[in-house]
Structure 1
Amino acid sequence: MNVCRGVRWTVLAALLIWSAPATADQPMLNEAVDFGGQVLWLELGTPALILAVTQDGDRRIAGFGEAAPGQGAPDGGTLMRVGSITKVFTGAMLAQMTAEGDVNLTDPLTEYLDWPDIDAADGPVIRLIDLATHGAGLPREADREPGPDDDPFATLTETAYRKAISEQPRLFAPGSGISYSNMGFDLLAMTLGQVGGQAYRDLLRTRLLDPIDLKNTVFAPREGDRLMQGHGFQGEALPDIPTTAVMSGASGLYSTADDMLTWLEWHLAEDAGTLPEARLLDHAAWVPRDGRSPVFAMDESGHMDAMGLGWVIMRPDAGRPLILQKAGGLQGMFVYHAFAPAHDIGVFVAINQFDFDASLAIAAFANDLMAQLAGR
């Protein structure tokens, strides 16, 4: 999608959303989601799209296209891979364990992982906060042998990470820069699991997902789940391939639009609620962009001004409110979710085809929609 087309549908959606008549108890929200999602889906041309919004406790979810053969349009209960959105769950798990006194954000990674060569001999150490803010200087991925076509993740193992820590060069000294790293979040999850005394996937379930009531946020589909079919760059259907245990911190989760709204509403809650200390820690701007060098691969979904615990934080700008956001993509899915805490608005949007222009478009649409609904 080129820039002119993107501007065209954004402006058209804005004009028609705001001129629509009231037809329900939450007319503005309904119209923004139903019509805005329709325009976005038609413009992108992906097999399916789902748009979900929460505002002041009200919800609206609209699906378009066909989630999978014979399923019809996706809805709030359709399961889908959320890829790197997993990272903000790992960040929230770090916040929860920090709030409970199990770890400190500034603990050195070597306090928990006794792997050789984690830290350079003559530089700063990697801390847990560095892993959670993409500031450890680790590469995006661990070098490894490719997996077989029917199981490409098979070679992404703890052994591969140990080898990468020893052999791959650091991109910068820990704490001095910011560069996107799946490897860092996977190491963080391994660490938290070790501290918690159980497999990280079980730890996340018992200490975060269950307390927030995210029953359909899981690491593997279950019998009876309606799974959204992902598609490749040429439109080909992609198989649903399980992730390895070592991928649990960066990209392993599946979820539904219903659960994603529950997750966003937990972040937006103002009362004491569930896990309030973890929520406060999770939202803090721990690492400002200013003074970090390099800053790489952080701006695809909007300019990063600071990093929370996995969250990309964008300060208010040109009518847009403060936003915390995170995108993801895996096995033919591109997803994006964000919230504006001062305005009690959260948005989740997903498409089921690899298309980089479309992935940028859904993020821009969601950010613009929050600005419109916030009245800025």
Structure 2
Amino acid sequence: MIRTLPVRRGAVAAIALGSALALAAPLRAEESLLQTNVEFSGTIAWLSTGAPAFVIAAVRNGETAFAGFGERAEGTGQAPEADTIMRIGSISKAFCGETLASMAAGGEVALTDRLQDRLDWDVTVPEMDGRPIRLIDLVTHAAGLPREVPRPEAPEDDPFATNTPEAQIAGLAADPLLFVPGTGASYSNWGFDLLGAALASTAGKPYADLLAERVLAPLGMNDTLFNPRPEDRDRLMQGHNFDGAPMPFAPTPVSIECAGGLYTTAADMMRWMQWHLDRPAAAEEEMRLIDHAAWLYRDGLVPAAGFDEGGGEMDALGLGWVVMMPEGNRPLILQKTGGLQGMFAYVALAPSRDMGVFVAINQFSTSGFSVMVKTALDLITTHSPR
């Protein structure tokens, strides 16, 4: 069942009361417990975030549930639906990690391959203390690279325009390493920019084509893309800045596709989560095993910076995933946050419990982000306790 609730904030008390009564009442025959709890949790979360709109989608044991709240874009009067298109920012990194897992499972790359050997650019990739940057270092934020590539400021309506291969080559040539690769972890968009370029170089095709071939097309994720199509205009969710002002739909250059370029829908995210949770499936089993493994544990890493905003401390890093070990009643979680152009998004998977949750709000808000993440983790803990 899919439900959208375009309600006004002036009716907060009535909404909360109505939702509580709905939860207390007997379930309707056609409505599952998962759908009921998604709607109830989503209502409370949306009212608490202060964002114009809120989206929540869950998958458990093959069942899906969705709810959308508020107004998709200012003046539309439309609540977000399961096919509403939104930016997911750095959740794109988990897709890029999955692409790497596919290539590793197929023997096309090894995780320990040097970046130097997989990047067809005319540049000498820096090393430190004799340690090269490897693909596994890039995907676990362990390469020693700064968070962003050094580049000139770009226009507000095209903020990524100056993130070019030329800027990245110049940055590498300037010997930017902050620590010995593999000895620490510090969140780096630049590392994923380079990973996307390396995978494209290895495959001999654009990263977008590689991602579509390995991940999106097999799952029928037809609305997951890097730049919306003209016909998508009436399905876009408008992002908002911290002050509530609408933010532009900035174009996505090739250079940031792996690190943070994707748009998607809740419907596509439910398809994606179902694939990740289908552990008994023989098809692509090795790819899934590689993708879900914890490759770099926090213990002994210096530094370990930029990974603790997603509902708890990072215990390990996977292929784009931040791994949280079981704690209390909460099972092991693979999670990833994303924030770009006025959108905050979060996905959490509990592979051992066959459950995943995706949530998004369309306004930058630190308190709203915390509510969003807690809602997702609480829903998993409620339905799939350890």
TM-superposition CA deviations, 1:331-372 (whole Å, max 9, x none)? 000000111111111100000001122112211221111001
- Superposition deviation, residue 171 in structure 1: 1.8
Distance 2:72 2:200 in 1: 34
**What stretches of structure 1 move > 4 A for 4+ residues in a row?**
15-20
Q: Specify the alignment match of 1:9 in structure 2.
A: none
Aligned partner (choices 81, 84, 91) of residue 78 of structure 1: 84
Summarize the alignment of residues 88-103 of structure 1 with structure 2, pairs less than 5 Å apart.
88-103=94-109
Where does the alignment leave 5 or more consecutive residues of structure 2 unmatched? Answer: 1-16
Summarize the alignment of residues 251-290 of structure 1 with structure 2, pairs less than 5 Å apart.
251-290=260-299
Is the counterpart of residue 191 in structure 1 residue 198 in structure 2? yes
- Tell me how many residue pairs correspond in the alignment: 364
Is the counterpart of residue 344 in structure 1 residue 344 in structure 2? no
Aligned partner (choices 232, 235, 238) of residue 247 of structure 2: 238
Is the counterpart of residue 22 in structure 1 residue 27 in structure 2? yes
Alpha-carbon distance change, 141 to 121 in structure 1, aligned in 2, over 3 angstroms = closer
Q: Is the 8 A contact 2:128 2:179 kept in 1?
A: no
Distance 1:222 1:285 in 2: 36
Amino acid at match of 1:276: E
Give the 3-state SS of the residue equivalent to 1:37 in structure 2: helix
TM-superposition CA deviations, 1:57-82 (whole Å, max 9, x none)? 11110000000131511011000001
Q: Specify the alignment match of 1:212 in structure 2.
A: 219
Q: Specify the alignment match of 2:178 in structure 1.
A: 171
Where does the alignment leave 5 or more consecutive residues of structure 1 unmatched? Answer: 1-11
Q: Specify the alignment match of 1:4 in structure 2.
A: none
Distance 1:134 1:115 in 2: 23
Distance 2:23 2:331 in 1: 18
Q: Is the 8 A contact 1:147 1:155 kept in 2?
A: yes
Q: Specify the alignment match of 1:42 in structure 2.
A: 47
- Greater CA drift, 67-76 or 95-104: 67-76
Alpha-carbon distance change, 115 to 125 in structure 1, aligned in 2, over 3 angstroms = farther
TM-superposition CA deviations, 1:90-136 (whole Å, max 9, x none)? 00000000111110000011112254342226331111000011110
Aligned partner (choices 280, 294, 307) of residue 317 of structure 2: 307
Alpha-carbon distance change, 143 to 20 in structure 1, aligned in 2, over 3 angstroms = farther
Amino acid at match of 2:240: H
Q: Specify the alignment match of 2:371 in structure 1.
A: 361
Distance 1:24 1:264 in 2: 26
TM-superposition CA deviations, 1:255-282 (whole Å, max 9, x none)? 0000001101100002325422211100
Distance 2:230 2:128 in 1: 50
Distance 2:213 2:184 in 1: 33
- Superposition deviation, residue 168 in structure 1: 5.5
Alpha-carbon distance change, 213 to 271 in structure 1, aligned in 2, over 3 angstroms = farther
Alpha-carbon distance change, 311 to 214 in structure 1, aligned in 2, over 3 angstroms = same
- Taking structure 2 as the reference length, what is the TM-score of the superposition? 0.90
- Greater CA drift, 109-118 or 253-262: 109-118
Distance 1:56 1:173 in 2: 42
Q: CA RMSD in A?
A: 1.9
Is the counterpart of residue 54 in structure 1 residue 59 in structure 2? yes
- Taking structure 1 as the reference length, what is the TM-score of the superposition? 0.93
Alpha-carbon distance change, 242 to 71 in structure 1, aligned in 2, over 3 angstroms = farther
Q: Is the 8 A contact 1:20 1:31 kept in 2?
A: no
